[in-house]
Structure 1
Amino acid sequence: MESPKAVAPMAQALREAAEWVGCDSVRIERVDRPELAAPLTAAVT
């Protein structure tokens, strides 16, 4: 992710991908920009 603006679209994409493969949850384990890990984690829940 290039900036905080990417958090919401990324969260949406991760939720959609999880649903597509039958998962009902997403866990963020690694983010290239560590300062965006907490906002992304909050956005996927």
Structure 2
Amino acid sequence: MVHRLATDTTTEENVEKTSLMPVLVIILVLIVIGAVVWYLVGRKKK
């Protein structure tokens, strides 16, 4: 849906590019949280 709108106008494309930033931040946060949880679980097993 979003990709179809983005191809229509350049303004929509700019909106999509800016909306990608928070998504990247969320992904990074999830990776960090996952790494911390994985590290803690690994310590508990030992």
Measured against the shorter chain, the TM-score band is: 0.3 to 0.5
Give the number of the structure whose alpha-carbon radius of gyration is greater.
2
TM-score normalised by L of structure 1: 0.40
Higher relative contact order (CA 8 A, sep 6+): 1
TM-score normalised by L of structure 2: 0.40
Higher fraction of helix: 2
